[in-house]
Amino acid sequence: MPASHETPDTAKPASRIRQKNQAAILRAAEQEFACHGFKGTSMNTIALNAGLPKANLHYYFSTKLELYIAVLRNVLELWESSFNHLRASDDPGEALGNYIRAKMAFSRQHPEASRVFALEVISGGLYLSEHFGADYREWFRGRAAVFEHWIASGQMDPVDPIHLIFLIWSSTQHYADFTTQICQITGSKRLSRHDFNIATDNLIHIVLKGCGIRAPQP
């Protein structure tokens, strides 16, 4: 086998192209899966919307199921990354406020990805069962333990940490999954960044007030 002549300098453009193509594919897949579900989506349409030949799409993701799971995994990794570094030493108001802002930003920037996740869960979560195993439950208990510490130290009211996390998840994802309902009720054509900012501030106020946490000073 001939030796590779690829240097770090020549490898970087190839790596950037790969990342760009994968990002385009995932974005196109999010939109198609959100609109048509797993069964109603075709790899050909995803390739077309990503601006790539179908052969290139199969180079990165050999099957539709592999791509679908990649979309779900990407959603979860983005959501979890903003909650991974929660510590008992954190200020509760700042930590919860930052987490709610991060989740709302995701709902604004990646609404299709959130809808794909919601459809998967509603349909039974077949392809999420592996992710929601023992490791995930341990991760979840670690987040809840931080809330329990804050309660024990008198930094927040004795609310159930599990249901508090569920409340934050559902309320922030609502603005992605039910945008149509919100727009019909408010008379808006679309939710703007300003709309999301107002909603975010209100959610933070409601959650902190309900937990007996003093809002951090700006």
CATH of the domain at 107: 1.10.357.10
pLDDT at 4: 45
CATH of the domain at 50: 1.10.10.60
Q: Is the pTM of this model over 0.75?
A: yes
Whether 142 is covered by a domain: the verdict is: yes
Whether 134 is covered by a domain: the verdict is: yes
Domain span including residue 22: 8-62
Whether 216 is covered by a domain: the verdict is: no
Are 188 and 143 members of one domain? yes
Are 98 and 155 members of one domain? yes
Are 117 and 48 members of one domain? no
Taking alpha carbons only, the member of 33, 187, 25, 175 closest to residue 111 is: 175
pLDDT at 1: 43
Domain end (from 43, 62, 81): 62
How far apart are alpha carbons 166 and 159 in whole angstroms?
12
pLDDT at 187: 92
Mean pLDDT, the chain, rounded, equals 90
Task: Look at the alpha carbons of 189, 177, 44, 46 in this order and tell me if their dihedral is positive or negative.
Answer: positive
pLDDT at 167: 97
How many independent structural domains does the chain possess? 2
Residues 71-123: tens digit of each pLDDT: 998 888 888 888 999 999 999 999 999 999 999 999 999 999 999 999 999 98
Are 58 and 97 members of one domain? no
CA distances from 118 to 34, 80, 173, 181 (A): 9, 16, 9, 15
pLDDT at 14: 65
Whether 159 is covered by a domain: the verdict is: yes
Taking alpha carbons only, the member of 198, 215, 195, 218 closest to residue 207 is: 215
Instruction: Report the range of poorest mean pLDDT among 2-6, 8-12, 44-48.
Output: 2-6
Are 196 and 147 members of one domain? yes
Are 18 and 111 members of one domain? no
Are 103 and 181 members of one domain? yes
pLDDT at 82: 86
Q: Within 13 Å and on the Cβ side, how many CA atoms surround 145?
A: 9
Domain end (from 19, 34, 62): 62
% the chain with pLDDT above 70? 93
CA distances from 39 to 49, 64, 199 (A): 17, 9, 34
Are 148 and 201 members of one domain? yes
Are 22 and 107 members of one domain? no
Are 83 and 25 members of one domain? no
Mean pLDDT of 18-23: 89
Taking alpha carbons only, the member of 209, 204, 174, 215 closest to residue 101 is: 204
How far apart are alpha carbons 146 and 128 in whole angstroms?
25
Are 23 and 88 members of one domain? no
How far apart are alpha carbons 96 and 170 in whole angstroms?
15
Whether 1 is covered by a domain: the verdict is: no
